[in-house]
Amino acid sequence: MASRFIYILYVSGMTGEGGARLGLHARLGGPALSVWAKHERDSDGWLPLWRHMEDSAAVAGRLWDEWLPLSVRRLIAGELPGGEVDARRLVVWLAGVHDIGKATPAFACQVEQLAQVMRGHGLQMRSRQAMGADRGHAPHGLAGQVLLGEWLQERHGWTVKQAGQFTVAVGGHHGVPPEHGQIQALDGHPHLLRTHGPSRTLWKRVQEELLDACADEFGVRECLAAWRAVKLPQPVQVLLSALVIVSDWIASNPDLFPYFPEDVPRTGPERIAAAWRGLDLPGPWRAKEPVGDVQELFASRFDLPPGAKVRPVQEAAVDLARGMDAPGLMVIEAPMGEGKTEAALAAVEVLAARFGAGGVFFALPTMATGNAMFPRLLNWLDRLPAPEGTRYSVLLAHSKAALNDDFVDLMGKGQRIAAVDVDGFEEREWRPTSPTRSAAAELVAHAWLRGRKKAMLSSFVAGTIDQLLFAGLKSRHLAMRHLAIAGKVVVIDEAHAYDTYMSVYLDRVLSWLGAYRVPVVVLSATLPAGRRRELAQAYAGKATSETAASFDAVAQAGDYPLLTAVTPGGAPVMRRPAASARGTDVELERLDDDVDLLADRLEKELANGGCALVVRNTVRRVLEAAAALRERFGEANVTVAHSCFIDVDRAAKDAGLLDRFGRPGKADRPQAAHIVVASQVAEQSLDVDFDLLVTDLAPVDLLLQRMGRLHRHLRGGEEQTDRPQRLRQARCLVTGVDWSAPVPAPVRGSLAVYGAYALLRSAAVLLPHLDGGRERPVRLPADISPLVQRAYADEPDGPAGWAEALEAARARHEEHRADQAERAATFRLDAAARPGRPLFGWVAAGAGDADDTRQGRAQVRDSRESLEVVVVQRRADGSLATVPWLAPDRKGRPRAGLALPTDQVPTARAARTAASCGLRLPIQFSYADVMDRAIDELEELHIPAWQVKASHWLAGQLILPLDEDCQTHLAGFQLRYSPSDGLEVTRA
């Protein structure tokens, strides 16, 4: 009763503020003041609409002034006659009016006690039950879009089209811009916006009074006439929509913005100041362009070996960035081990400073490569100059980031803030920080930026390419993903690694990045020239008669290393830096596909020691080879690495490879002969160095990537005298093929992974080197580009006797690519339409939510949906525990054999340890019938105690219990796991 009394007094203007009227409250009469916006179900807490309007507008102003990157502000300001002043006013105003749709009967009827107060002020409405299903035609976002559009048309002379490009930010503030059909359906139900009868006029007056008050309070009334002539580009509409969403999410949190009656005494400025202190959101990166020569820049930012000089390609990248007069795309093609990552980060620093980017997103092919990049990103950030007290938000962006120790450390530093509960979209609780608490560490994983829709808003992000591709997928809250990338420099690593399906999304994302004027740096060691042109044109837009010749030159260039740069609408330019002085001649030999023959050859080559890498195209072939080699060389001298290890073991494998086979001076290289048998995990982002390579035939670009792990570093000078004498000449043995057939016949597993066409094209371009033996080595890096360009040229290249096989394989290949492109286009975002066209229907017929889950990743990768499980051990007494071989954590605490009780929530450490033992089951379990059967069997182990909120590490997970011999049966298969070999799957 007391809270209701305070409510009525406040509406009447007789509160503890002593009758003072401030902001919107002073501009409104009783009926308008009675309109409610928020209500707490479990209490009498509520919030009037006028207050939420003020809160949202104030947050938008703070975001503009203190959080939004300069590049985004410039993009919006560039479309308005008053520049940045107009842009800020527009953002604040749209955030202020975004919930005007709550001033309707369709919304207000939801809470009867608050609706009754409004009825007392003349705003009549039927009950929620009486309105029935019709309410679904008037969600308050859509209702607000319609009301604001009417106001602009009737009161300010705007046309429907002119209004739509602004009002769509209101209509789409719950993640999906309305479709034309929804707008038309609401037109047929006007009683949802204003009741029939005498009260209709009062409803309209209140709605207009609120909009008039916002126009005056937020200073846009004098702007509206000039804005009527503006044609907003769709990228600007997207950014405005996203800023409204962020403002609403923050302003909707009752811990930041308490509901009435608790917050009645505070004024608007006091309220926003306290909320902003509590949120404590780190600002954007404000990069300063580095001065001085490139050698000094690299010495200050990276761990250069003593006496190391900057590579020509690195210097060229910085010089090219310094010469760009507009944001653009830069493609860096250079050999493996040439320092492309450092070149990209140095160019990023220059581009961010020149064009106002507020952060970086580094996109990598896999979680493993993302994990490897994250500490390098942190190390670079630690060396960036920044004013004292600067804080940056940092994110590792993939679904298992919370299991990464480096990221967990940062999460602890940013733990003062937790996720905001926004209209039910986020689950975790939020509590604001005390304003008296000391400042956080410079790099923080800010907890408000951890929700799945907000995480990418962090300033510095390393993550999988999926996070970037999601920006090209029609999905809910897509505007948030676009805001996240629009203010950054985007780096795309291993650009050659993405197939046609993924490239359909990537090219569309690049077109939007070009429209946002986002600087992009693309890295590859083995990029086909045709793909180089596609990337450049996707970003720059369709070639014109003036630029066509330049794009043709890009598609024909065979120089290497090569840098290509292009700006939106411009002609590409190329730079041809020299290769670094060091090169490697790799002798190529055929090796018949026989494990005994492989063992014989390695025994001969490693007679005096040395380290060999054997790369197989399937996990089955990895395990077969490893078993044979262990019989010959002993268990301790053969290491296995592939994708079917539990997460914690996979991370340990990568770390172990770096420790033993990494850079000279940092690695403890085995003294005896040692063999690593690996799948494709050895291709990317591991700085490992071997004396001898044996590889299955693969597409030539990937084969060259594998060669990049051969003699990667100098060991004992140019003569490689620290390697065994027999292995001082780099050699690569190519197997996995029946070389005796009239046309080389790759093994079945390789065909399943890569297809016949890519493998035959690879074999064809390698033939001169294979046939010539020691007379015709592959010269790295000189031969990289010629081999790649020949293998991916439009016309097949091979011996006459292969013509028929090549043509048949090509037909199948083109059919597969066409199918990929067609399927990818189903949910692909459209290109930005002409300026002035509203975003109505922008994500219509989309994919729903885009999440970094197995289902979400399958939307942007042409792969079967995979099953992921958490591996635990079932003891003889039936109890569950973490697997028994785990090493202690970084603090020395045990992780092996931790009890996982089924009648209660496990300890946090035990649950997290179990979650770190996630495993993606191989392709056998991706076929529909097998997957369904596997899920049914896994769900038999349903542990209710683990499904509660407190058990977030294990809730919803599929649990795979292994017996004490680390074996089990699943869906007709026998599964065996070992920390040395990973998962082995055989038919039961």
- List helix spans (H) across 916-967: 928-938
Which of 223, 248, 266 is where one domain is finished? 266
Instruction: Give the pLDDT band of residue 5 (cuts 50, 70, 90).
Output: very low
Judged against a pLDDT cut of 70, whether residue 21 lies above it is answered with no
Same domain? For 571 and 693 the reply is no
CB 474 within 8 A of CB 846: yes
Instruction: Decide the pairing of beta strands 959-962 and 982-987.
Output: unpaired
Longest Cα pair distance anywhere in the chain, in angstroms? 99
Judged against a pLDDT cut of 60, whether residue 433 lies above it is answered with no
**pLDDT per residue as tens digits for the range 517-557:** 999 999 999 999 999 999 999 999 988 989 999 999 999 99
**pLDDT per residue as tens digits for the range 295-310:** 999 999 998 877 889 9
Same domain? For 615 and 533 the reply is no
Q: How many other CB atoms sit within 10 Å of the CB of residue 940?
A: 7
Same domain? For 675 and 616 the reply is yes
Identify the bridge partners of residue 573 per DSSP, sorted by sequence position.
565
- List helix spans (H) across 252-311: 268-279, 294-301
Tokens of 258: 């308490």
Please check whether residue 770 lies inside any domain of the structure. yes
Please check whether residue 259 lies inside any domain of the structure. yes
Tokens of 877: 């007494």
Please check whether residue 275 lies inside any domain of the structure. no
For residues 911-940, give the mean pLDDT.
Answer: 91
- Helices 500-515 and 529-540: angle between axes, nearest 10 degrees: 40
Whether residue 365 has a cis bond before it, omega within 30° of 0? no
Query: What's the full length of the chain, in residues?
Result: 988
For residues 861-877, give the mean pLDDT.
Answer: 84
Q: Which of 106, 230, 98, 102 is nearest to 175 (CA)?
A: 98
3-state secondary structure of 260: strand
Least confident piece of the model among 135-139, 422-426, 466-470, 889-893: 422-426
Q: How would you label 367-376 residue by residue, b for 16+ Cβ within 10 Å and e otherwise?
A: bbbbbbbbeb
Please check whether residue 444 lies inside any domain of the structure. no
Instruction: Give the pLDDT band of residue 444 (cuts 50, 70, 90).
Output: low
Which residue in this structure is represented by tokens 């359909």? 504
Please check whether residue 410 lies inside any domain of the structure. no
Q: How far apart are CA 253 and CA 255, in angstroms?
A: 5
Same domain? For 126 and 218 the reply is yes
For residues 700-711, give the mean pLDDT.
Answer: 93
Q: What is the pLDDT of residue 402?
A: 67
Instruction: Give the pLDDT band of residue 431 (cuts 50, 70, 90).
Output: very low
Judged against a pLDDT cut of 90, whether residue 687 lies above it is answered with no
Judged against a pLDDT cut of 60, whether residue 929 lies above it is answered with yes
**pLDDT per residue as tens digits for the range 361-385:** 999 988 888 888 888 999 999 999 8
3-state secondary structure of 680: helix
Task: Supply the DSSP symbol for 776.
Answer: S
Please check whether residue 820 lies inside any domain of the structure. no
- Burial (CB < 10 A; 0-12, 13-18, 19+), residue 389, is exposed
Same domain? For 192 and 227 the reply is yes
Tokens of 600: 């014989």
Q: Which of 193, 171, 191 is nearest to 182 (CA)?
A: 171
Where would I find the beta strands (DSSP E) of 885-934? Answer: 918-920
How far, in Å, are 35, 60, 140, 161, 241 from residue 167 at the CA level? 21, 16, 13, 10, 9
Which of 219, 248, 266 is where one domain is finished? 266
Tokens of 113: 């006690």
Q: How far apart are CA 762 and CA 699, in angstroms?
A: 5
Which of 527, 545, 575 is where one domain is finished? 575
Q: For residue 696, what are the domain limits?
A: 584-645+657-780+795-812
Same domain? For 241 and 330 the reply is no
Same domain? For 478 and 501 the reply is yes
Which residue in this structure is represented by tokens 């009227």? 21
For residues 745-767, give the mean pLDDT.
Answer: 95
Q: What is the pLDDT of residue 500?
A: 85
Judged against a pLDDT cut of 80, whether residue 862 lies above it is answered with no
For residues 146-170, give the mean pLDDT.
Answer: 97
Tokens of 141: 């976002």
Same domain? For 563 and 605 the reply is no
Tokens of 172: 């789409």
Same domain? For 7 and 79 the reply is yes
Residues with Cβ within 8 Å of residue 979, at least 6 apart in sequence: 645, 649, 885
- 3-state SS, one letter per residue, for 705-745: HHHCCECCCCCCCCCCCCCCHHHCCCEEEEECEECCCCCCE
Q: How far apart are CA 647 and CA 651, in angstroms?
A: 6
Average pLDDT across the chain, whole number: 88
Percent pLDDT > 70 in the chain is: 89
Same domain? For 570 and 591 the reply is no
Identify the bridge partners of residue 920 per DSSP, sorted by sequence position.
868
Of residues 15 and 224, more confidence is placed in 224
Instruction: Decide the pairing of beta strands 584-590 and 982-987.
Output: unpaired
| Amino acid (one-letter) located at 89 | R
Please check whether residue 854 lies inside any domain of the structure. no
Please check whether residue 773 lies inside any domain of the structure. yes
- Burial (CB < 10 A; 0-12, 13-18, 19+), residue 804, is exposed
| Amino acid (one-letter) located at 911 | A
Instruction: Give the pLDDT band of residue 627 (cuts 50, 70, 90).
Output: very high
DSSP track, 229-243? T----HHHHHHHHHH
Instruction: Give the pLDDT band of residue 666 (cuts 50, 70, 90).
Output: confident
Q: What is the pLDDT of residue 6?
A: 35
Which residue in this structure is represented by tokens 């807490």? 45
How far, in Å, are 70, 409, 413, 414, 638 from residue 442 at the CA level? 21, 12, 9, 10, 43
Judged against a pLDDT cut of 60, whether residue 926 lies above it is answered with yes
What CATH number is associated with residue 636?
Answer: 3.40.50.300
Number of compact structural domains in the chain: 4
Q: What is the pLDDT of residue 359?
A: 97
Q: What is the pLDDT of residue 14?
A: 31
Q: How far apart are CA 759 and CA 290, in angstroms?
A: 45
HSE toward the beta carbon, residue 367, CA cutoff 13 A: 20
Judged against a pLDDT cut of 50, whether residue 853 lies above it is answered with yes
Judged against a pLDDT cut of 50, whether residue 18 lies above it is answered with no
Measured over the CA atoms of residue 136, residue 137, residue 142 and residue 146, the dihedral's sign is negative
Same domain? For 566 and 589 the reply is no
Identify the bridge partners of residue 457 per DSSP, sorted by sequence position.
none
Same domain? For 593 and 496 the reply is no
What CATH number is associated with residue 84?
Answer: 1.10.3210.30
Tokens of 53: 């309007």
Q: Which of 406, 460, 854, 409 is nearest to 655 (CA)?
A: 406
Strand order of the β-sheet with 967-970 is 967-970, 973-978, 982-987
Q: What is the pLDDT of residue 137?
A: 94
Measured over the CA atoms of residue 954, residue 960, residue 961 and residue 965, the dihedral's sign is negative
Q: What is the dihedral of CA 937, 943, 948, 950, to 10 degrees?
A: -110
The model's pTM is: 0.89
